Structure 1
Amino acid sequence: MVMEKARDVLVIGGSRYFGKRLIARLLAAGDRVTVLNRGSSAPPAGVVHLIADRDDEDALRAAIGPRTFDVVVDQVCYTPRQAAIARRVLTGRTGRYVMTSTVEVYEYEDSPTLVSEAAVDPLAVSVDLELPWDDPEFLDAHYGEGKRQAEAVFAAEPEFPYAAVRVAHVLGGADDFTGRLDHYVDRIRTGTPIAVPRTNHPATYIHVDEIADFLFWTVGQDFTGPVNAASHGPLTTEDLCEAIAAHIPSGSVVFRTATEGETSPFSFARFYGMDNSRAAQLGYTFTRAREWLPEAVR
């Protein structure tokens, strides 16, 4: 059997949730993995650990030094400023750059059907580096816009081969730090009303292990541009609550209509559904959300 050549992979961030699962898959495949973060958490054994604040271009350049990589996977690029720094530092240093993006780039695409990557063309997105991207409150309120503009920075340089993995809402894993499913568990257990918009739309999701698998697969591919990563089949808030209530027989599901700013996580006043056919055409087969939902909730 012919063994595939080990790859040199830099992961920026990746210290928790599906990032650490990606690193585990790369190591298991025999890849040489370098992890860069601010040093607040130690990476797993077997990786080279670089410490730098990615927002400090000089520090990032010094930390990377003369190293080159086959692939960079950027788990924590949230703004066009961060993207511009990464592109300047890593141009000529990597054969390919994979950015984890988000379904939130489609926040302005109020479509009743699944949206494809073409709905948001990074080359058509305006970039404003002067916005207060360093302000946590501004960044939190403009999460989708930050990701959109970051994609645009990479897309603007044709000599910088990049892919943007637009990740659906992620579920599963005991280490889910977001607290979004906990929100529903607590309310169903106590019978506390769950705030939802008047018209509550479904969304597409992906299991935490499946997005780690997809990112690992992407590392070994050569496609560029955006790609949607989502399991087949949208889920509603009611679907999530039904799956949770199956494990809490003494609980009850009570919904309360609320304004958009007060609604529960995973309840949407618009449809957040992604078409995953590009990934399928490239050769990746996603699972169906209803198949893994019960175990993810359990």
Structure 2
Amino acid sequence: MRILVIGGTEFLGRAFVAQVLERGDRVTTFNRGLSGPDAPGVETVRGDREVAGDLRALVEGRRWDAVVDTRGGVPKVVGETTRILSGHADTYLFVSSCHAYADWPAEPVDERSPRHPCPPDAERGDVPPNALKAGCERAVEQHFDGGVLIVNPGLIVGPYDNVGRLPWWLERIARGGRVLVGGAPDRAMQLVDVRDIAAFMLGALSERATGRFLVTGVRSNTTWGDLLRDCTAVTGSDAEPVWVDDAFLAERGVEPWTELPLWMPLGKGGDGVWLASSAAARERGFHCRPVAETVRDTWEWVRGRGADAGPWMQGETPLGIDPGKESRLLAEWDAAVSGRAGDSRS
């Protein structure tokens, strides 16, 4: 196959390009060259998708079997991209997100769930950020003359993670000691390895699939406790998780998802975060490796990043709780637990 990848140097794009090259297919990457080097063996075209002239130069004299868009985030920009690429590829695969579904993460979702009401020509600031992916999907569906394939990933983990939720926990567990954790060890989770999504995307393109597939981990493929035990095992740490009530942390202003990555308190609009259905994708061959394997491989990558690597970031927000705040909350929790024990004895 001949595949054009918009992006191709970070996380999912990187993993997809690696698998395409390993299979022996031909890859063109289109990006600005700012997020990292392109893989050896690709045809690299430098350009900015927000510049129509760069896109027109990209397509001149070229045609591909498929376009894989790993970077689309603004509907108006994605619409212009698809208009220019129409006629130069048979299929357009757009990497969206579970955030495109209006009910997620509050409730379970599947491919039939309603999407956010975002128009296909929306710009940044026109709608809430989580709705933009839904508008991007509509832009592809409306403007691309050919097959359209949309994948909606859930929480992606694995090597070369460009956000760092699992890597943050690995580094925190590796430092050892008492570790603040929200919730309970038996709380089910649903994680998916970036390489498994990439393999599904390549297989679906090879079969000329179209339509929509939600691609996330099998429900309950790990728990909070199992995940942290896996982190402890691969790091060789003496870390001791301290399980703290959701309400206790919420009352003290601990931010879900950022201060404690992967933590979503129950009853706060996130009860469905680990309940999305990937049944349709699994019926088409989507396979999820064991989470313990992902944890091991991610730790091997994290260890090689180097001491000068910057902090893990979700957008403009650094991930992870301040060590001083963590120590203070642990002390407050100890006092609260001790107080309850004293009350029960009296």
TM-score by length of 1: 0.81
Contact 1:237 1:266 in 2 (8 A): no
1:181 and 1:86, CA in 2 relative to 1: closer, same or farther beyond 3 A? same
1:39-78 equivalent positions in 2, closer than 5 A:
39-40=33-34, 41-78=36-73
Query: Aligned partners of 1:231 and 1:102: how far apart in 2?
Result: 13
1:152-167 equivalent positions in 2, closer than 5 A:
152-157=138-143, 159-167=145-153
1:261 and 1:108, CA in 2 relative to 1: closer, same or farther beyond 3 A? farther
Shift in Å, 1:251:
1.1
Shift in Å, 1:85:
1.3
- Residue 45 of structure 2 aligns to a residue in which SS? strand
RMSD (Å), alpha carbons: 3.0
Task: Compare CA radii of gyration and give the structure with the larger one.
Answer: 2
Q: Show the counterpart of 2:229.
A: 242
Gap runs ≥5 in structure 1: 1-6
Q: Show the counterpart of 1:125.
A: 117
Shift in Å, 1:71:
0.3
Contact 1:245 1:252 in 2 (8 A): no
Q: Show the counterpart of 2:100.
A: 105
Letter in 2 for 1:242: R
Q: Show the counterpart of 2:288.
A: 287
- Residue 27 of structure 1 aligns to a residue in which SS? helix
Contact 2:118 2:132 in 1 (8 A): no
Query: Aligned partners of 2:139 and 2:243: how far apart in 1?
Result: 42
Which of 112, 132, 140 lines up with 1:146 in the alignment?
Answer: 132
1:107 and 1:289, CA in 2 relative to 1: closer, same or farther beyond 3 A? farther
Contact 1:87 1:160 in 2 (8 A): no
Shift in Å, 1:222:
2.1
Query: Aligned partners of 1:53 and 1:60: how far apart in 2?
Result: 8
Query: Aligned partners of 2:162 and 2:89: how far apart in 1?
Result: 31
Query: Aligned partners of 1:59 and 1:230: how far apart in 2?
Result: 34
Query: Aligned partners of 2:144 and 2:29: how far apart in 1?
Result: 26
Q: Show the counterpart of 2:211.
A: 225
Q: Show the counterpart of 2:332.
A: none
Identical amino acids, percent of aligned pairs: 23
Contact 2:91 2:148 in 1 (8 A): yes
Q: Show the counterpart of 2:240.
A: 252
Which of 4, 9, 16 lines up with 2:3 in the alignment?
Answer: 9
Letter in 2 for 1:35: T
Gap runs ≥5 in structure 2: 300-346
TM-score by length of 2: 0.71
1:126 and 1:295, CA in 2 relative to 1: closer, same or farther beyond 3 A? same
- Residue 148 of structure 1 aligns to a residue in which SS? helix
* C-alpha distance after superposition, 1:202-254 (max 9, x if no partner): 44221122122112212212222220112323344333223213344411112
Query: Aligned partners of 1:276 and 1:251: how far apart in 2?
Result: 33
Which of 8, 18, 21 lines up with 2:12 in the alignment?
Answer: 18
* C-alpha distance after superposition, 1:100-135 (max 9, x if no partner): 11222236335654x2111135xx7331645435xx
Shift in Å, 1:66:
2.8
Contact 1:230 1:286 in 2 (8 A): no
Q: Show the counterpart of 2:166.
A: 181
Matched, 1:35 2:29: yes
